[in-house]
Structure 1
């Protein structure tokens, strides 16, 4: 599964970059995230609970950041195991484009792969679920970053 999209965030690029590297912000935005702990500057562990069609699974895994070019881009890669439900792995190239003093466009290109029971659900359901989850993450990310910017310092 491959997909790409972008979202406009009414904040400067430095603010968006900082939020993209904040486990607390990411925890709020990742659909079904129960835990996200930073182990090193470029490695986190996670527990995520998701319902994909009729299958509900809890995935445990790791998230790595590579090809880091502050405050412009990085590649986020993750792999999770969901026991009997199977596994999920994927990556996203995230790029920030400052289009004004208080406007940044976050572009992403993502790829995902699943196996086990989850893979038996069919590509149409998996594609639509993956796109929906990615869109939910970036919409929530936009809302969290915008709200935190609006809070008095």
Structure 2
């Protein structure tokens, strides 16, 4: 399974790069992560609890980071075993570029699964992998930018909500 995406993050490439190498930030951003320890030089060990379709498992794995080009790019490779549920392994090429208003983060991911997970079918696995990647990058973006739409939410609370539907129009 392969996927690619691009995101705009309101932070400098240096801030995004540093966040991707910080075990505490990774623990906060990886959905289901209960433990992340290590360093970029020696690699990370992680424990992640996830439910994929009807299969719930605790994955223990290792993540290595290579091809580091400070504030520009890095390659992440990982593999985890979930006991009877099977295994997952994959990698991501992450690229960072300075743009107006922050950083453009682009990634290409390739992942493989085996065991009971592979029996779920590619549609479930592909959907789950996309959801995990989206959640990770949403969490990373929120951690770097602060809560999303906080200013807009505050402004929306001071305005009277628009009336919706035909019933709202009849009360005017």
TM-score interval for Structure 1 and Structure 2 normalised by the shorter chain: over 0.9
- Rg larger in structure: 2
CA displacement, residues 34-58 of structure 1 (integer Å, 9 cap, x when unaligned): 1000155240000000000000000
TM-score (norm 1): 0.92
TM-score (norm 2): 0.83
Listed as ranges, the gaps of 5+ residues in structure 2 are: 148-172
Aligned residues: 147
Structure 1 or 2: more strand by fraction: 1
Matched with 1:136 is 135
Matched with 1:76 is 76
Matched, 1:146 2:145: yes
SS of the residue corresponding to residue 119 of structure 1 reads helix
For 1:20 and 1:46, the matched residues in 2 are separated by 14
| Cα contact 1:42–1:66 (8 A) shared by 2 | no
Question: Structure 1 segments of 4 or more deviating over 4 A?
Answer: none
For 1:96 and 1:116, the matched residues in 2 are separated by 34
CA displacement, residues 60-94 of structure 1 (integer Å, 9 cap, x when unaligned): 01000011111100100000000000000010000
Matched with 1:151 is none
For 2:96 and 2:131, the matched residues in 1 are separated by 21
| Cα contact 1:47–1:61 (8 A) shared by 2 | yes
Please, what is the CA RMSD of the aligned residues? 1.3
Matched with 2:10 is 10
Listed as ranges, the gaps of 5+ residues in structure 1 are: 149-153
The correspondence of residues 21-100 of structure 1 with structure 2, limited to 5 A, is 21-39=21-39, 41-100=41-100
